[in-house]
Structure 1
Amino acid sequence: MKKISLLILVTLCSFVPIQEKKITKTGTITFEASVPSFEEVKGKNTAVTCILNTSNGEIAALALMKGFRFKIALMEEHFNENYMESSKYPKATFKGKIENFDISKLTATTKEFTLKGKLELHGKSKDITTVAKIKKIGTDIEVKTTFPVNVSDFEIEIPSVVSKKVAKKVSIDCNFLLK
């Protein structure tokens, strides 16, 4: 009876289309909002989840705001409490698609693809179009991208007392090794 059940299960599974997905839970997002002549304003999150559907190029990423670390603890506290309001808006997400993605054409040489999607941050969303640099590392896929974000697009308020020390346009750097 067990053999028949196993045979039926294997047969049914063979008819279900398999979508190849690559994932990481240790992706990195670094943002920098530094202004020349002032203290570095830079945070890094090394626990970002990212999933890539290799059959169609759809990609999604999730970063918990309280996962960003800074050189100065007080800066981290201000980031979570005053700027990002992390208790109210605990995560940032990106859902999009890598245009003309074809896993069979990936090699160890980096190729550039257009990445389009929607970034949700601080309760607001914005369409993003950027270049993703993608290559194969063994059976893994590395995806890297950098793009700017205007804090005003997400209604992130910078207190006037520090407004000259924090950039209004923030550079976001993403690095994912998908397995």
Structure 2
Amino acid sequence: MKKTITYFIAFLSLNIFSQTKYITKTGIVNFEASVSSFEEVKAINNSATAIIEVESGAFAALILVKGFRFKNALMEEHFNENYAESDKYPKATFKGNLKDFSIEKLSSNTVFKISGSLTFHGKTKKLESIPLTFSREGVFINVSGNFKVNASDFDIKIPKVVKDKVSETVEVSLNFSLKKT
């Protein structure tokens, strides 16, 4: 009997103190570094992992760099070998917190701001007050947004030979449909 009560108390305390989480392993992250009048420099990754802890507003995302797909296979190869060095730096991560996040406030197209740290190519950059749009559909929370970073923030050097064809400013967009766990 004593053992049963101990298990029951342990189970109850785990449920009381556990955070409600929403997660996806099929998030979409795009980036574009195109310059007008030249070939499009754009990629998509359909296998980003992201998680939100509802009570704390903590948010994290993980992207495998080799998962980015380009229209041009040679461009993809150059990206992985020369720019991202994806064998050396296989992951990109973001860890942050949503300001004043509340699942009760979610309706269609509710905007919350997030601040946190983006790590790519072995370098970390702080991002502040990035607006993300949220909506809730049953057991899913949908999140979308975009922001800009500079290649130089992550020690990525654009060779002189292509300097006019690749933008220093990179537009990143995301679209996640996270499911309650």
Give the TM-score category using the shorter length. over 0.9
| Alpha-carbon shift at residue 11 of structure 1 (Å) | 3.3
Name the residue aligned to 1:118: 117
Gaps of 5+ in 2: none
Aligned partners of 1:155, 1:44: CA distance in 2, in Å?
A: 21
What's the counterpart of residue 14 of structure 1? 12
Q: How many Å separate the matches in 2 of 1:23 and 1:162?
A: 38
In structure 2, do the counterparts of structure 1 residues 33 and 12 end up closer, same or farther at CA, with 3 Å as the change threshold?
Answer: same
Q: Superposed, which structure 2 residues align to 1:2-151 within 5 Å?
A: 8-16=6-14, 17-107=17-107, 109-129=108-128, 130-151=130-151
Distance (whole Å) between structure 1 residues aligned to residue 71 and residue 5 of structure 2: 57
Q: Across the two proteins, how many residue pairs are aligned to each other?
A: 176
Aligned position for 1:164:
164
Aligned residue for 1:77, secondary structure, equals helix
Identity %: 49
Q: Deviations over 1:98-154 (max 9, x none)?
A: 1000111212x1111111000001111111121011110122101111000100111
What TM-score does the superposition give when structure 1 sets the normalisation length? 0.94
The structure-2 alpha-carbon separation of the partners of 1:6 and 1:48, relative to structure 1 and needing over 3 Å to count, comes to: farther
User: TM-score, structure 2 length as denominator?
Assistant: 0.93
* 1:17-38: CA deviation from partner (whole Å, max 9, x where unpaired): 1210110000010000000000
Gaps of 5+ in 1: none
